[in-house]
Amino acid sequence: MNEIKTELLVQDLTKEFESGSESLPILSGINLKMNEGNALAVTGPSGSGKSTLLYIIGTLESPTSGTVTISGENPFEKNETELALFRNQSIGFIFQDHHLLPQCNVLENVLLPTLAADQQSAEQEETARQFLDRVGLSHRLTHRPSRLSGGERQRVAVCRALINNPSIILADEPTGNLDQKSANEIGSLLLELCEEQKKILVCVTHSLELAGRFPQKVELTTGTFQSPVFS
Ligand SMILES: Nc1ncnc2c1ncn2[C@@H]1O[C@H](COP(=O)(O)OP(=O)(O)O)[C@@H](O)[C@H]1O
Ligand SMILES: [Mg+2]
């Protein structure tokens, strides 16, 4: 059986927001082709549309024109239920603020995305434990997020993003609230996981240091960037 290779294809993407009777152009002429194992850093000034681009790739926002194709499928052709399931299975998000649930412990937080598919299993719990062990948090499984440091919370958020084995990892300023050491650790972890597990990783960051560690980086200015070419 041929395994389907993950591919992310963004073609001639534009995004405009309506503001009263005016439309506000945010993105235009975005083209991007990434395969599994590719990692891209996106930099650019505040307000340049970095989060908007990430949300469109992550199927949380729809484009005004142009297409996003993920492994041959156009997610925006799906109905709402299908799209939610597709997002849950295919895309892992990491935000600047970890977005962990305060009332759930570390292990429960990592397992949250598995609830959607109604198929939580002992195997998934074992996977969650393995991820948490991998990021050095196996002694913190029953702790609530409030008892963790910023770097530890972000490590939990990375595990949560990976638990459903998505093919695409999208990170929006994942180290923005961290000290330098924790930021470096999260950066290394994301890059390692991308390579080792053959993910597509798109990471928005203000940190030129973090962006510099990525094999490819683009700067979003005036709503567009020059398409990176991956080897
Ligand atoms: N839902 C929305 N409605 C209207 N304008 C928006 C919306 N989301 C973002 N914007 C505007 O789009 C621009 C880009 O925002 P964003 O993608 O968050 O930029 P960045 O992440 O680079 O700081 C900003 O001017 C922002 O105000
Ligand atoms: Mg942003």
Q: What is the pLDDT of residues 10-60, one digit of tens each?
A: 999 999 999 888 999 999 999 999 999 999 999 999 999 999 999 999 999
Question: Given this model, what pLDDT does residue 118 score?
Answer: 64
Q: What distance in angstroms lies between residue 49's CA and the mean position of ligand 2's atoms?
A: 7
> pTM to 2 decimals?
0.95
Position in ligand 1 atom list of the atom nearest CA 49: 17
Ligand lying nearest the CA atom of residue 220: 1
Map out the domains of the chain with their CATH numbers. Answer: 7-219 (3.40.50.300)
Q: What is the pLDDT of residues 58-83, one digit of tens each?
A: 999 999 999 999 999 999 999 999 99
DSSP character at residue 214? S
Q: Which two tokens mark 49? A: 């549309």
pLDDT in tens, 171-193: 999 999 999 999 999 999 999 99
Instruction: Please report how the helices 106-115 and 150-162 are oriented relative to each other, as an axis angle in degrees rounded to 10.
Output: 30
Dihedral of alpha carbons 180, 183, 188, 189, sign: positive
Categorize the per-residue pLDDT at 3 as very low, low, confident or very high, splitting at 50, 70 and 90. low
CA nearest to 214, candidates 166, 177, 151, 169:
169
Residues 135-167: pLDDT tens digits?
Answer: 999 999 999 999 999 999 999 999 999 999 999
Element (H, E) at 40: strand 39-43
Atom of ligand 1 at shortest range from CA of 61: 1
Mutate-to-test residue for ligand 1 from 14, 16, 17, highest number of ligand atoms within 8 A of CB: 17
CB within 8 Å of 192: residues ≥ 6 apart: none
CB 145 within 8 A of CB 102: yes
Q: How confident is the model at residue 2 (pLDDT cuts 50, 70, 90)?
A: low
SS3 228: coil
Q: Give one DSSP letter per residue of 92-148, joined into a string.
A: EEE-SS----TTS-HHHHHHHHHHTTT---HHHHHHHHHHHHHTT-GGGTT--GGGS
